[in-house]
Amino acid sequence: MNKIRYSIFADQDLFVAQTHGNISFDDLYQHVLILMGDKEFKAGINALYDFSTITDFTGDLAKLEALAAGMSSEDVIVKKAKTAILLPNEFAPNIHGVMDQYMAMTASSQIDYRIFTLAEFKQAASFLGYDSLFLEGLLNFAFES
């Protein structure tokens, strides 16, 4: 089972994903393969990744580079979409720095990636075109356990 949980809300044109603790670049790569193989997934769907409680990224940077190359390929990403990534409020080079690298590697992607801290949740919701309370409700619904 992949460490990144997700739920697709096709009627909202959105999927939400969440993980905690340490996450490897292989976890990210495998998540994308699983997600894109999901029958509910469609090109152009927007995304919110709640990585606000991750503590570290680990693994071979080549895996992250391969993921970024795929996400920048118009053969893979055939339609424009938006993705908001929530990171911890406190700056950590091993987390924020890695995501900054990923943003640079995917600058030519049809996916408009933006990084927000958890404190900037309202801005993330606005970027995606949703009310923040509605989006918070979707997250709670998707990941209550």
Tens of pLDDT along 32-89? 999 999 999 998 999 999 999 999 999 999 999 999 998 988 888 889 999 999 999 9
CA distance 11 to 14: 8
CB 59 within 8 A of CB 94: no
pLDDT averaged over every residue in the chain: 92
136 pLDDT above the threshold of 80: yes
93 pLDDT above the threshold of 90: no
Kind of pairing between the strands at 14-24 and 111-117: unpaired
CATH number of the domain that 53 lies in? 3.30.750
Question: Domain residues for 116?
Answer: 5-143
Is residue 42 helix, strand or coil? coil
Please state the pTM of the whole predicted model: 0.93
Q: Residue 1's pLDDT band (boundaries 50, 70, 90)?
A: low
Mean pLDDT of 116-123: 95
Lowest mean pLDDT among 4-8, 71-75, 97-101: 71-75
Number of domains in the chain: 1
